[in-house]
Amino acid sequence: MPSSPTSKAELFPMIHPLPMQIMEQWTKSMEAAFKSMMQMAEFAAEVIDGATIKHINDLTANLISGTRMFNPALAMRSAPARSAVKKTTRRVAVVTGGCGGIGTEICRKLARNGCQVVSTYIAPEADFAKQWQKDRKAEGLDIDVVECNVTDFVSCEHMAREIEKKYGGADILVNCAGITKDNTLRKMDEAHWHAVLDTNLDSVFNVTKQFIDGMSSRHFGRVINISSVNGQKGQFGQTNYSAAKAGMIGFTRSLARELADQGITVNTVSPGYVNTKMAMAVPEDVRNGIIAKIPVGRFAEPSEIAHAVAFLASDESGYITGSDLSINGGLFMM
């Protein structure tokens, strides 16, 4: 006798509930996993938001305080692009021999262009330097002064540390310190030779050495060395001076190659005869004889030399390096 029809539950009494239990467990597991993923996403968002806010706060504090801060994104850019980016803080410009005739105009020009300028002086000229600083203050220029014997490497180290501590380092360096001890080589003594080479050439190494690491770390720097037309053409009675100034040009071109990919430019400015107190001390008939050989027909003004220095020191001059800018009124043309 055939049996009556039966339900699926009767045919599979043990199989039917099992898939339902597995489905319930799987669903609960997926819900838990999804919940964990959401919690992790929320946590990650909080961390990212916090890091972003901290970075923005740090940038804001940096802008307000004027503190120098290395920017990794900036460091990844090419050297010319880095140099083109202007900082939010004032450029710090160090001028050796800044209290002299040409140096004073360089300090004035850089200060009026918005730089924090620091001029060096030697210990015997401390009183003169302090009065010089007061005179600049009376002109509305807040220029700092610091003692430094540029012929002594240790003294230059101390000067650089003082500037680093006070201003965070130098962005612009103008090597302007120089002296003359003229005589023909036959009559020149050893002391006069070394005095000129030490002050005019060794000083460029002593001072520049102190600042290039800081410039490299900030990916910006301007080094301007004040050479001379006599370093290009030579001059009777100036073998020491001409040798030092010619050496400065060679130093400049070599260092420019070393630092070109780090946002640092190195150039020279080579003045001819400049209207300073030293030049005016030359007898008038001698001055007139010199002027007669200058196509422009006059001596340069110190402000004209300062203008050239300010041009090379600007942010916009980042593609000029290893160059010599001659300012001699046509006296010597290369």
Please, are residues 290 and 318 in contact by the beta-carbon 8 Å criterion?
no
Distance of CA 282 to CAs 85, 236, 276, 287, 333, Å?
A: 46, 16, 10, 6, 24
241 in catalytic set:
yes
Q: Which of 121, 241, 273, 319 is catalytic?
A: 241
93, 313 Cβ separation under 8 angstroms: yes
Indicate the burial class of 101 (C-beta count within 10 angstroms; 0-12, 13-18, 19 or more). middle
Q: What would the DSSP string read from start to end of 177-231?
A: ------B-TTT--HHHHHHHHIIIIIHHHHHHHHHHHHHHHHT-EEEEEE--THH
Q: Which residues, in sequence order, are bridge partners of residue 270?
A: 326
Nearest to 71 by CA among 199, 218, 190: 218
Q: How far apart are CA 197 and CA 179, in angstroms?
A: 9
CA gap 154, 218 in Å, rounded: 24
How many CB atoms sit inside 10 A of residue 24's CB? 10
C-alpha torsion sign, points 295, 297, 302, 304? negative
Positions marked catalytic: 241
